[in-house]
Amino acid sequence: MHHPGPPRFTTVGTAVELAPRNPSEGIESAIEWSIVDAPGDSDASLGSDAVEHLTPDEPGQYRLRMTAPDGPHELTVRAYPDVSRPVRFAVEAGQLPEAEDVWISAPFNEHILGRDRARHEGGQYVFETELPPGRRSVAFVPDEDYHSAARDTVDIEGPERPRVELDATVEDGTVVFEAVPRAGPTTDERSGDLGVEFFLDDRDTLEGSLAIDGTTARCELAAIEDSIRVHAVAVGARHSIADTVTVSTDGDVTYPNEPPAWTDDATMYEIFTRSFTGQADATFRALERRVPYLEWLGIDTLWMTPILESYAPQRDDDGYERGGPHGYHTLDYFRTAPDLGTREEFESFVETCHDHGVRVVFDLVVNHTSKHHRNFQLASAGVEDYEQWYRFDDDGGAENYFAWNSIPNLNYDSLAVREHVLSIVEEWAPVVDGFRCDVAWGVPHGFWQEVRERVKAEDSEFLLLDETIPRDPLAHENAFDLHYDTTLYGRLLEIGRGDRSAESLLDGVRAEQREGFPSRAMQLRYIENHDEDRYLAEHGRDAQRAAAAATLTLPGMPMVYYGQETGMTHFRKPMEWDGDDELTRFHRRLIQTRNEHAVLRRGDLEDVAFESETDRAVAFAREYQGRRVIVLLHFGNGAASVSVGESLATTDLVTDEAIDVARAGGETTVSVATVAVLEAVGE
């Protein structure tokens, strides 16, 4: 079916991309879009292309019709008021070298240089615009030199996004949908004052309509044809990310926005594929021989940087291939890289991982290709069937993000591109256990929703991880399961530098509530990856150990980047297998502690009253099924004395050894070098 998918939720002035699903050769000329209904004062319009973009100009509901070879389909687009505020960014001119132009690079302009220029004013470079409330950051880039860029970050005042959680039960033949709206944690709004809007998915058939009463909706089970998807949005000064529930005719209830159950207990390990074998040649067979190490370490989920055939950049002055060979310059999406081995050898590697209890996450790179890709060469030459495969500016230059001139952006307004990428998804999804989606923010959200429905229909346990920087709660709306926690990552850097107290760690974790992430969303906690400098090199061994311990004792899915545990200080060079043995054992014991104690994997995060002589220490609690543990972290040198207002056991769960604690009047004082995890005990 070519139906364009679930209802779409946006704000006035923010375009919604519209496209038929299941694109195939020959349907483009048969696709027509029209606006059936719109708010009274709206002048919004649609063109004649198969992929269109609706920009709502008035709040309210828009009903669209798409005519396709399989008939007409209607789609609901709900536009909420724009809450953007004026904002001014500025950096001192002396922070930048002389340049012909100073460009603005930010999420709101997709990091495309040439769209927004800063002006020089009073010894500063200044840029003004309007953006939604929240913490917003921009880079001032002299010409195309990102290495010399300066950054400004501004907190824009205004309402936080509310959140909503939708549940459904079947009682005596009646389906009851209950929505629980929650206001932002620091907003003036109250949860009880929020409204809820319910939407029946336009693809589904229900005899009659939903009976809505406040935060509850009902329908008769017998009125459902096959199954229905119901979406709910909390509405206050802003609107929430939608939550969804599916109910079948036999009364089964499922939650499309829910991550796979196994993610609650998983620990991820990322490898820079061609570096993980150290000085040995990186092949699938060589990688296969190192899988037992992952099992020994306690890892159960492996993310590999790309393994498909790609163009390798030139070597730098040190003889190391700059940025690679990282695999992100794809040449062939259906062939494994010849230097790594055959597809059969890759599948053998995956099977060996499975034999050792390790799932494999495939790096899906579909925002761009290499400029040496056959299709880009044909597009650049003006070959008719390929001209629309890539995005070009008015001067004929290929569009790319940042200064990535060698990886041009694919054009998702082309049905041929969409069909091609969906074939890539179908090629590799059956082989692996999940996709890490590179530059996910550069691919239309509606397309990711289609990808999700496809892969989940075949395997509900398939994982989708998005690279969206900074993270965006919209990515969770019927699209991704797991998200880069860019907020906590940044907070751990600030703590490592000494710019913030260790106690601010907890505020960094809870920021997902302020940002509007649904409660079903899962965050990936990390301190480094293949794009970031090593935490150890930047902040030292003591802070690195504490930061790693934080990721492995906080809620969410922790990730270890290869070599983090062996003391590496370069983020892409060959694995140092003979590195820091003590640091390796420390990471292994942390992972094993998390694996052994469900309270560290699934427990609720709670504040703990604590005192310490240093702001480099923090304490918090995890509680699960009546069990409570206290985690104490110290980011500084030596040991810190930390006192908490609870009685604690004397056995550290990390070391399985007794430690000295002092108890007095229900208070416990512990000397913490890096991390201690202690059981809370009754008086």
Strand partners, 154: 136
Q: Is 25 an annotated catalytic residue?
A: no
**H runs (alpha helix) in 415-540:** 415-428, 445-458, 486-497, 504-515, 535-539
Q: Measured between alpha carbons, how far is 271 from 568 in angstroms, rounded to an integer?
A: 13
Name which of 655, 668, 664, 663 is nearest 676 in CA terms.
Answer: 655
Q: Do 205 and 190 contact (CB within 8 A), yes or no?
A: no
> Any idea what DSSP says for residue 312?
P
Question: Catalytic residue among 52, 160, 197, 467, which?
Answer: 467
Other CB atoms within 10 Å distance of the CB of residue 626: 6
CA–CA distances in Å: residue 510 to residues 119, 229, 555: 36, 30, 10
Does the annotation count 188 as an active-site position?
no
**Contact assessment for residue 661 and residue 680, using Cβ atoms and an 8 Å cutoff:** no
On the CB side of 261, how many CA atoms lie within 13 Å of its CA? Answer: 4
What is the distance between the alpha carbons of residues 414 and 391, in angstroms, rounded to a whole number?
A: 10
What would the two tokens of residue 592 be?
Answer: 């094993």
H or E, element range at 288: helix 284-288
| Residue 610, SS3 per DSSP | strand
Written as one letter, the residue type at 500 is R
Token pair in block for residue 179: 């929505």
SS3 293: helix
CA dist 573 and 576 (Å) reads 9
Active-site residue identified among 160, 288, 300, 438: 438
Q: Which tokens sit at 93? A: 């001119």
Return the closest-CA partner of residue 464 out of 240, 271, 242, 258: 258
Tell me which residues are annotated as active site. 438, 467
